[in-house]
Amino acid sequence: MTVLRGRVWWLLLLSLSLLSCTPAPAPNQLEQIRERGVLRVGTTLSPTTYYLDQEQPAGLEYALAQRFADELGVSLQMVPRYSLKHLFGLLDSGEVDFIAAGIDRTEQRSGKYRFTPPYQEIAQQVVFRQGSRTRPRELAELDAELVVVAGSSHAEWLQAQQQQLPELNWRASDEHDAIELLRLVMQGDIAYTIVDSNTLAVQRRFYPDLSVAFTVRDSIDVGWVLNQQLDASLYNPLIEFFGALRDSGELDQLVDQHFGHVNQFNYVDTTLFIQAVEQVLPRYRKLFQTHSGSLDWRLLAAISYQESLWNPRAVSPTGVRGMMMLTLPTAQQMGVRSRLNPEQSIRGGARYFEQMLQRIPARIAEPDRVWFALAAYNIGLGHLEDARILTQQQGADPDRWIDVRKRLPLLRQKKFYRQTKFGFARGDEPVRYVGNIRRYYDTLIWLDERGRIPADPLTIELPSGSGDEEQ
């Protein structure tokens, strides 16, 4: 019996010893990220994904990735690359945790990688320079070389089409990204390229002569990409993350902030605006800069263009006048003696818009705060508040521009405006007004950062009798 007990005790000690020598299981991908304290996200440098705005990170992919990193309680490291091939290499080697770069799911990619639920929908379009050739309607009608980004889904799709169109003249370039290819189209160095619709919408603000020949793929889902060879510990919280964003409406709001104002393209308006930037704005640029106060002078200039096309003598049938189209009571309140004097009008308009900003509820975050102030500048704070109340009554968020702008047009309908304090209003006008200014503002930022706004000496022709306000 003693011997038996000894053997049992010895076996127990041996078992405990073996257990203590057994290595702990390796942490899964999510645990590794939390231990590291850093979420590494591969992306591309592009206005549609990730870029630096006045040395601060910006872009839809950055905004989404930062929110996810905050949920995990870790810091965010964006790892930008110019080549999609390089990005996928980083993912394969484990140097990034996932890719957030506007990547669409293809058959080839789905076999190797895991995609999150989609957060955006795009189309892919063949683009050429307007006026350079007759518009083709299909691939078979292309009369010159088509160039796409190497490693892109565009290249993968063209390879599949090559079997049906063996004479198709195309190539994939490792040397250029999508935006550079669009610039080459504008310069006449290449005839055609294929580009995602959101990228084209942004670039047409600066290059209005970019024209769509035809759409090759429509309603394409865009998602984040993970290494399928790893465990699903990171994938599962990403599914929950995008589901919560979609349910709360925050996803729609983020997409709208980055792309909502560029969905509608007007060739004539964009062309005339760029011409005005080159020919008219230099005369007034210093005035906008001098009197912008707490505002970005380019926002002030965008407001003025929407109001008057930078015409100091502008007069509307309703009696508003000048560069900032002030009413007489507003001008008097702002100390403007002559609304037709460019400097007085710009100074008065800037101070009035600052007042609008200050009267928007403090809880409303940027950039929605600016969009609300612009709407108030156009339609008045009273009508804006009516629309916000309607928004709340209909179960939407009155502090989000994307929700309120859907209700502003309801102020035209009697069944809605009869319930409001300030009554009827042309509520569709501030929606167009804000959208136009957002486009002008973005274009001015892009042109200014590239030194494309001429810096001519200030030469302003004041209207005759530009002293006291004319009656």
pLDDT, averaged across the chain = 89
**Mean pLDDT to the nearest integer, 109-113:** 91
Confidence class of residue 239 from pLDDT cuts 50, 70 and 90?
very high
4 band by pLDDT with thresholds 50, 70 and 90: very low
Phi-psi region of 188 (alpha: psi -120 to 50; beta: other; left: phi over 0): left
Element (H, E) at 193: strand 192-196
- Categorize the per-residue pLDDT at 471 as very low, low, confident or very high, splitting at 50, 70 and 90: very low
Amino acid 317: pLDDT: 81
pLDDT over 80 (residue 23): no
The whole-number average pLDDT for the span 450-463 is 66
pLDDT(20) > 60: no
Report the relative pairing of strands 98-104 and 210-227 from DSSP bridges. antiparallel
CA dihedral 151, 65, 444, 344 (to 10 degrees): 180
Q: Which residues contact 211 (CB under 8 A, 6 or more apart)?
A: 127, 128, 129, 130, 135
φ/ψ of 271, rounded to 5, equals -65, -45
Cα→Cα distances 100→28, 263, 330, Å:
21, 22, 47
Supply the CATH classification number for the domain 269-449: 1.10.530.10
* pLDDT tops 60 at residue 389: yes
* Interval 120-141 mean pLDDT: 94
pLDDT single digits (tens) 336-388: 999 999 999 999 999 999 999 999 999 999 999 999 999 999 999 999 999 99
Question: Is residue 35 over pLDDT 90?
Answer: yes
Quick one: pLDDT band at residue 256, thresholds 50, 70, 90?
A: confident
DSSP string, 11-64: HHHHHHHHHHHSPPPPP-HHHHHHHHTEEEEEEEBBTTTBEEETTEEESHHHHH
What share of the chain has pLDDT > 70, as a percent?
A: 91
Q: Residue 305: what pLDDT?
A: 97
281-291 helix and 297-308 helix, angle to the nearest 10 degrees = 130
Tokens found for residue 316: 């509307």
- The yes-or-no answer on residue 55 being catalytic is no
Express each pLDDT in 289-320 by its tens digit.
999 999 999 999 999 999 999 999 999 887 89
Helix H or strand E segment including 102 = strand 98-104
How would DSSP label each residue in 214-241?
Answer: EEEEEEEEEEEEEETTS-STTHHHHHHH
The residue that leads in pLDDT, 222 or 261, is 222
Judge whether residue 257 has pLDDT over 90.
no
Instruction: Break the chain into its structural domains and give their ranges.
Output: 269-449
Band of residue 24 on the pLDDT scale cut at 50, 70, 90: low
Lowest mean pLDDT among 9-13, 153-157, 181-185, 455-459: 9-13
Classify strands 38-44 and 75-81 as parallel, antiparallel or unpaired: parallel
Burial annotation 185-201 (CB, 10 A radius, 16+ → b, else e): bbeeebbbbbbbbbbbb
Q: Is the pLDDT of residue 462 over 80?
A: no
3 pLDDT exceeds 50? Answer: no
Q: In angstroms, what is the C-alpha Rg of the chain?
A: 28
Q: Which amino acid is it at 467? A: G
pLDDT bin (cut points 50, 70, 90) of residue 264 is: confident
Catalogue the E-assigned strands of 310-385.
none
The DSSP call for residue 166 is T
- Residue 263 has φ and ψ, to the nearest 5°, of -65, -35
Q: What is the per-residue pLDDT for 465? A: 44
- Beta strands 192-196; 120-129: pairing state: antiparallel
Q: In 116-166, at which residue ranges do the beta strands (DSSP E only) sit?
A: 120-129, 146-149
pLDDT at 464: 45
- Residue 21 pLDDT level (bands cut at 50, 70, 90): low
Confidence of residue 231 (pLDDT cuts 50, 70, 90): very high
Of residues 307, 429, 461, 469, which has the active-site annotation?
A: 307
Q: What is the pLDDT of residues 266-296, one digit of tens each?
A: 889 999 999 999 999 999 999 999 999 999 9
Q: Please, which residues bridge with residue 192 across strands?
A: 146
The residue behind tokens 């996928």 is 88
Residues whose CB is less than 8 angstroms from the CB of residue 64 and which lie 6 or more positions away in sequence, other chains included: 100, 119, 245, 254
Predicted TM-score (pTM) above 0.85 = no
First CA to last CA distance, the chain: 120
Tokens representing 419 are 């319930």
